[in-house]
Amino acid sequence: MTVQTAPHDMIASAPVARRDRHLAALLPAIVIAALAVLPIAIVIGIALTGSGEDWPHLVNNVLPGAAATTLALLAMVAVGTASIGVTCAWLVVAYDFPMRRILAWALVLPLAVPPYLAAYAFGEFFLFTGPVQTALRALLGFQSARDYWFPDIRSTTGTAIVLSSVLFPYVYLTVRVVFLMQGRNIADVARTLGAAPVRVFFRILLPVARPAIIAGCALVLMETLNDIGAAEYLGVNTLTIAVFTTWLNRGSLEGAAQLSTVMLLLVLALLYAERMARRNQRFHGARATHMKARPPRVRMEGTQKWFATLAVLFPILSGFGIPAYVFCGYAIRRLEQLADPALQQAFVTTVFTAGCTALVTVAIALVLVNATRLSRTAAVGAVARLSASGYALPGTVLGLGLLFALTRLDNSVDAFARAHLGFSTGLLLSGTAAAVVIACTVRFLALAEGAIRAGLEKLPPHLDEAARSLGQTPTASARRVLFPLLKPALLTAAVLVFVDTMKELSATILLRPFGFSTLATHVYESASRGVVEDGAMAAILIILTALVPVVLLSRALMRDADATM
């Protein structure tokens, strides 16, 4: 009896001891997560103070249409980004065709293009007055819009095309990693067993990539939800648009906060679905030794190979080529703007802010991911997920929540200093650039967390277990074994946050102090005068600057993969 119960006791007591040791890691994580949740909590708080007097109008006239449009948009963007992302990832991983190496990293380029610029560029390009339709009219002799039919970009479908064109790299990046690590091994096994290629793709590869597809799509869908620029420009009435008309045109911040809360619930449902989909779906990569045995890529022949080149080139042209073409055209006529000290200052500010935000966000995300790894308690996981849901809120709404939180803190500190120290501290956080960094950190925490968690899940758990059995504490094991292996994931996280902070507009414009301009606010100031052309140079600078880390990342990931071939 006693002999049998002894191990049982040991097992039972282990979690208690572990919990104590983990407190040091958990406490900062909980504090950080709570701070990140604060602006969201404030938005929900405002929603709860509302009387609900706007709801009859919202329910009767706004919500049905806006919710239907938003859901349709989400569905189309999910399908669009998933099919582009998966197809491209599989083509560049499994096949060899002309320009494959260049295209493989160029597929990440659309990430550098903010959705609001893409929408503008697509509008310029495809609308009645743009080059495509003008050429068509000249060619076929039509006079007015009534003479012929042309698909309207100003529609839910058009918006879905624009958003899919710039957002698909999120899916491509996550899925390509999975395919690189094991896709071809499994596929080859299946093929040697006699399965047809199409069957292999649908029966083997898609299921293997499913968690990665869903993780990528979750980011895409949150970006779609928080988008205001593209939807506004293309005249599509999404929930986000309804939030702003309720707030600004009908003077009801409470009503707007209530709509935002509905959106938050939608996001939490999304995140829950993502978690359910990922549960029990950890495909641990066969590492180095097995990879060496990877067979060479399938060489494509004849027209087939050019077809593959075109298939991969098309999304790059649409998500990167069109915006770059439209804005370069304007920028070339404004080269003298490069000498404008205000633009140069905006450039420096943008890079510095994005750099700070990337560092802070990755560090915080690491703490959060480590805490959820150690604790696995429901509460820690829930707080971490809630803090990530801020990504799906429109930047202005999240910014407002943060504005209220920071100003309250600042004014309390100031009142205390005035009463007890005899001087005023003013607005320490909300009156300085710190507010912008904090806002972007909260906004993009989900990106960093997702990338790091995905990296962690790809590592076989026995690495950690081995280190622990050799007497390392969990934290030491993380620091000495896991984190070094996570370097690519950390790099991905930092690049994603850096690029998104560069593109960020709405929270920045609300929270920035006097004299603080970024490239994005520069573009917006021109756009708000109706002269987007004057902001073209700043737009091109955003795209070019974002390109640098994106290309570096893409190449680093490729090197990582090719080195093991």
Partner 1 sequence: MTHATDRFRRAGIAAFALTFLAGPALAEGEVNIYSYRQPDLIKPLLDAFTDQTGITTNVLFLNKGLEEKIEAEGVNSPADLIFTVDIGRLSNAKEKGITQPVSDEAINANIPGQYRDPDGHWFGLTTRGRVVYASKDRVGQDAITYEELADPKWKGRICIRSGQHAYNLALFASMIAHHGEDYTKTWLTGLKNNLARKPDGGDRTQAKAIYAGECDIGIGNTYYVGLMQTNEKEPEQKDWANAIKILFPNTEDRGTHVNISGMALAKHAPNKDNALKLMEFLASPQGQEIYAEQVFEYPIGPGTEPAAIVKAFGDIKPDPLPLDEIANNRKAASELVDTTGFQDGPAS
Q: Which of residues 300-339 bind partner 1 (CB under 8 A)?
A: 330, 333-334
Nearest by Cα to 429 from 421, 437, 440: 437
Give the separation between CA 342 and CA 355, rounded to whole angstroms.
Answer: 20
**Residue 362 or residue 510: which is nearer to partner 1 going by CB?**
510
Contact between 489 and 452 under an 8 Å Cβ cutoff? The reply is yes
Element (H, E) at 248: none
Among 8, 303, 514, 563, binds partner 1 (CB under 8 A): 514
The CB-of-167 to partner 1 minimum distance in angstroms stands at 22
**Residue 247 or residue 444: which is nearer to partner 1 going by CB?**
247
Among 70, 506, 518, 545, binds partner 1 (CB under 8 A): 506
Nearest by Cα to 518 from 535, 494, 496: 535
Q: Which stretch binds partner 1 (CB under 8 A): 1-9, 226-234, 365-373, 474-482?
A: 226-234
Report angle CA 150, 153, 158 to the nearest 5 degrees: 120
The CB-of-525 to partner 1 minimum distance in angstroms stands at 5
Q: Which of residues 243-262 bind partner 1 (CB under 8 A)?
A: 244-245, 247-251, 253
Site membership for partner 1, residue 404 (CB under 8 A): yes
**Residue 2 or residue 60: which is nearer to partner 1 going by CB?**
60
DSSP state of 296: P
Among 129, 192, 280, 303, binds partner 1 (CB under 8 A): 129
Give the separation between CA 323 and CA 48, rounded to whole angstroms.
Answer: 41
Give the separation between CA 9 and CA 48, rounded to whole angstroms.
Answer: 48
Query: Which residues make beta-bridge pairs with 96?
Result: 299
Decide: helix, strand or coil at residue 516.
coil
Helices 131-140 and 115-126, packing angle to 10 deg: 10
Decide: helix, strand or coil at residue 298.
strand
Site membership for partner 1, residue 515 (CB under 8 A): yes
What is the CB neighbour count within 10 angstroms for residue 484?
9
Cα torsion at 516, 364, 115, 63 (round to 10°)? Answer: -110
Among 509, 538, 539, 547, binds partner 1 (CB under 8 A): 509
**Residue 367 or residue 427: which is nearer to partner 1 going by CB?**
427
Q: Which of residues 411-470 bind partner 1 (CB under 8 A)?
A: 411, 414, 421-428, 430-434
Q: Which of residues 206-225 bind partner 1 (CB under 8 A)?
A: none
The CB-of-61 to partner 1 minimum distance in angstroms stands at 4
Structure tokens at 565: 């071939």
Q: Which stretch binds partner 1 (CB under 8 A): 278-286, 296-304, 460-468, 526-534?
A: 526-534
Among 170, 271, 533, 538, binds partner 1 (CB under 8 A): 533
The CB-of-551 to partner 1 minimum distance in angstroms stands at 31
**Residue 373 or residue 512: which is nearer to partner 1 going by CB?**
512
Nearest by Cα to 242 from 70, 85, 403, 377: 70
Q: Which of residues 136-195 bind partner 1 (CB under 8 A)?
A: 143-146, 152, 154-155
**Residue 226 or residue 372: which is nearer to partner 1 going by CB?**
226
Alpha helices in 50-127 (DSSP H): 55-57, 63-94, 100-106, 115-126
Structure tokens at 514: 């006097």
Among 6, 128, 348, 462, binds partner 1 (CB under 8 A): 128
Contact between 497 and 358 under an 8 Å Cβ cutoff? The reply is yes
The CB-of-415 to partner 1 minimum distance in angstroms stands at 9
Give the separation between CA 504 and CA 354, rounded to whole angstroms.
Answer: 9
Among 96, 188, 232, 340, binds partner 1 (CB under 8 A): 232
The CB-of-408 to partner 1 minimum distance in angstroms stands at 8
**Residue 363 or residue 409: which is nearer to partner 1 going by CB?**
409
**Residue 38 or residue 490: which is nearer to partner 1 going by CB?**
38
Among 348, 466, 528, 544, binds partner 1 (CB under 8 A): 528
**Residue 93 or residue 403: which is nearer to partner 1 going by CB?**
403
At residue 299, what are phi and psi to the nearest 5 degrees? -85, 125
Give the separation between CA 250 and CA 464, rounded to whole angstroms.
Answer: 55
Q: Which of residues 534-553 bind partner 1 (CB under 8 A)?
A: 534
**Residue 102 or residue 531: which is nearer to partner 1 going by CB?**
531
Give the separation between CA 298 and CA 187, rounded to whole angstroms.
Answer: 12
**Residue 458 or residue 512: which is nearer to partner 1 going by CB?**
512
**Residue 414 or residue 560: which is nearer to partner 1 going by CB?**
414
Sorted by sequence, the CB contacts under 8 Å of residue 188 that are 6+ apart come out as 295
DSSP state of 299: E
The CB-of-553 to partner 1 minimum distance in angstroms stands at 31
Query: Which residues make beta-bridge pairs with 299?
Result: 96
Among 70, 396, 545, 554, binds partner 1 (CB under 8 A): 396
Contact between 516 and 433 under an 8 Å Cβ cutoff? The reply is yes
Contact between 65 and 237 under an 8 Å Cβ cutoff? The reply is yes
At residue 517, what are phi and psi to the nearest 5 degrees? -125, 140
Site membership for partner 1, residue 80 (CB under 8 A): no
Sorted by sequence, the CB contacts under 8 Å of residue 253 that are 6+ apart come out as 46, 247, 400
**Residue 471 or residue 515: which is nearer to partner 1 going by CB?**
515
Site membership for partner 1, residue 519 (CB under 8 A): no
The CB-of-301 to partner 1 minimum distance in angstroms stands at 46
Among 352, 513, 552, 565, binds partner 1 (CB under 8 A): 513
